[in-house]
Structure 1
Amino acid sequence: MTIERTIRQPQAVVFDGVPLAPLVRAVLDECRRLGSRQEVSALLAEAVQRGVSLPELFAELDAGSSRGTAIPREALHRIADGARSAAEVDAMRVWRMSGLPEPRWNHELRDENGEYIATADGYFAAVALAWEIDSYDFHFGKQHYAATVARNARYAAAGIVVLQTLPSRLRTEPKRVAAELVAAYRAATARSGAA
């Protein structure tokens, strides 16, 4: 347990008779102490996925001490731009290195009949290129692997090129991944005839 002085005492939330700080405050207090962009991004993405709103997080960040807020503020802006996970925050950073136009983040794709194709992590509509950040955790095992293969088949049937990237490579090989993204974009451009 860490005890810290504050001039902004939060209104306690009582859980099983124990007074606790509200979730939004607890999350940001922890983020201010973490030094790792990856850990901060993961914690904030998890909080948003579980229902903490971005306006609440931004308001709490603005109201509190500015000490230790640069990394959480950067991560929140990435999440506000469409990232749903720490890996997607990393993907946005790599995309910025590529010099390519911004993709549509977490964009749901449907065919001409309205049938669901997939929700691409990043989608470059002008050249029909989907960028998927596919981790072992979510794509390993028979069912998950089968779902990934089925997704890729739907992409192919719709004429969409797919680039799959492991999340770990976004951190360990960002320049190489950015180069692969540029190469895939160029290939998709040549294939589609887009300028």
Structure 2
Amino acid sequence: MNHNTPLSPRPLSHLSAVQRRVMSVAQLRAHGVPPARIASQCLPGGPWQLLLPGVYVLHPGPPTSEERLHGALLYAGRPPVPGQGGRGGRGGAQGRPGAARNPAANPYGEAMITGLAALALRRFSTAPPLLSLDRIDVLVPRTRRLRSTGCARLVRAHALPRPEEITGLPVAPVHRALADAVAQLADAHAVRGLLTEAVRDGHCEPAAVVKELTRARLLARPHVVDAVDLLLAEGRAAAEDRLYEVVRAYALPEPVWNVDLRLPGGGPHLGGVDAYWPELAVAVELDTRASRRDADALWSQYARKREQLERLGITVVHLTPKKLRDYPEQQATVVRTALMAAADQDPAAYVVVLPR
């Protein structure tokens, strides 16, 4: 807070450093600063400056990236003027009326950072630095009657995801932030880099990303489709690595990896599996389907393969990349249980195992 501007004795200890440097008009009034005083502080050469409508930076000079983030959230989450907007007027305070009446309790309402700014906060190497972003995307309810202005670009959603807190700021989940970023990008290389990094570095699973891209109707764009194909390849490779780690970390018997199964004597091809224990006739298949138009067809293919193998006495265990990542010990137990159960069953039909 600028020392030339006396405020009320109301304590500021609950505010972070950036929250003391950037305040909304409602917060300033709550601290006893009258409108005339606010206006005089923002005159040319004055110690304050208007960052966004109703949001002030309480120092001269360019705002930092942290201040711009905080200011964009204050602008998007500010309570509406009483009597304006009907349903839309409730905006960022829907479901939380206390947030609108008490900006100190929740100055951001339901607003959250999304898009490239959210990815930069998560330290994506393929996202531009925060200082280089002209606009900061802020996710708000679709009924919010505010316009994008200055450094704040509003992105409206029918249903808001649960935000995650990063450096004290509400930030959209990775899959939602990715979709909002991709929606603004025409550069195929940039899109490919963001999606690949998200999966390669374990920020989220491919299925969640593809589902969000589908919801946003972005899969009609050729450069996005191409990037998704690479994303799925990265996701499968990551899932295979996790499966290797689970087998070895939890001392499971070593299988043969990535093999095709056939009936003997030039019989029909039964399909490929990710891991197979020939002595016990147990197969593991990674379910790496994503929410795309071909997802149902892929599931039908999986189901037919599983039915055919089980008719031959082969146990098929389906594992998902997400469960392998989040619950490796549980998934190891699932596989171990299948192996133990198979040891007590009648021998399966003989099949030919080939590398793929």
Superposition TM-score tier, normalisation by shorter sequence? 0.5 to 0.7
Cα contact 2:313–2:347 (8 A) shared by 1? no
Q: TM-score, normalised by structure 2?
A: 0.31
Tell me, yes or no, if structure 1 residue 95 matches structure 2 residue 247.
yes
Cα contact 1:111–1:158 (8 A) shared by 2? no
Alignment of 1:1-195 (within 5 A): 38=202, 85-113=237-265, 114-137=267-290, 141-192=295-346
Percent identical residues: 27
Instruction: Report the CA distance between 1:173 and its aligned residue.
Output: 0.3
Report the residue type matching 1:177 in the other structure: Q
Q: Alignment length, in residue pairs?
A: 127
Instruction: Report the CA distance between 1:158 and its aligned residue.
Output: 2.2
Whole-Å Cα distance in 1 between the matches of residues 327 and 252 of structure 2?
18
Whole-Å Cα distance in 1 between the matches of residues 330 and 320 of structure 2?
12
Whole-Å Cα distance in 2 between the matches of residues 138 and 110 of structure 1?
30
Distance 1:176 1:148, change over 3 A: same
Cα contact 1:98–1:181 (8 A) shared by 2? no
Whole-Å Cα distance in 2 between the matches of residues 155 and 184 of structure 1?
15
Aligned residues: CA RMSD: 3.5
Whole-Å Cα distance in 1 between the matches of residues 202 and 340 of structure 2?
30
Distance 1:93 1:37, change over 3 A: farther
Distance 1:193 1:124, change over 3 A: same
Whole-Å Cα distance in 1 between the matches of residues 331 and 279 of structure 2?
20
Whole-Å Cα distance in 1 between the matches of residues 345 and 250 of structure 2?
20
Whole-Å Cα distance in 1 between the matches of residues 314 and 340 of structure 2?
14
Instruction: Report the CA distance between 1:191 and its aligned residue.
Output: 1.1
Residue by residue over 1:26-56, the C-alpha shift from the partner in whole angstroms, topping out at 9 and shown as x without a partner, is x9xx99xx9x7547xx9xxx69x79xxxxxx
Whole-Å Cα distance in 2 between the matches of residues 94 and 172 of structure 1?
12
Whole-Å Cα distance in 2 between the matches of residues 37 and 105 of structure 1?
24
Report the residue type matching 2:279 in the other structure: A
Q: Tell me which protein shows more helix as a share of its residues.
A: 1
Whole-Å Cα distance in 2 between the matches of residues 118 and 111 of structure 1?
10
Report the residue type matching 1:176 in the other structure: Q
Residue in structure 1 matched with residue 211 of structure 2 by the alignment: none
Instruction: Report the CA distance between 1:192 and its aligned residue.
Output: 4.2
Whole-Å Cα distance in 1 between the matches of residues 272 and 289 of structure 2?
18
Cα contact 1:130–1:162 (8 A) shared by 2? yes
- Structure 2 residues not aligned, in runs of 5+: 1-124, 127-192, 207-229, 349-356
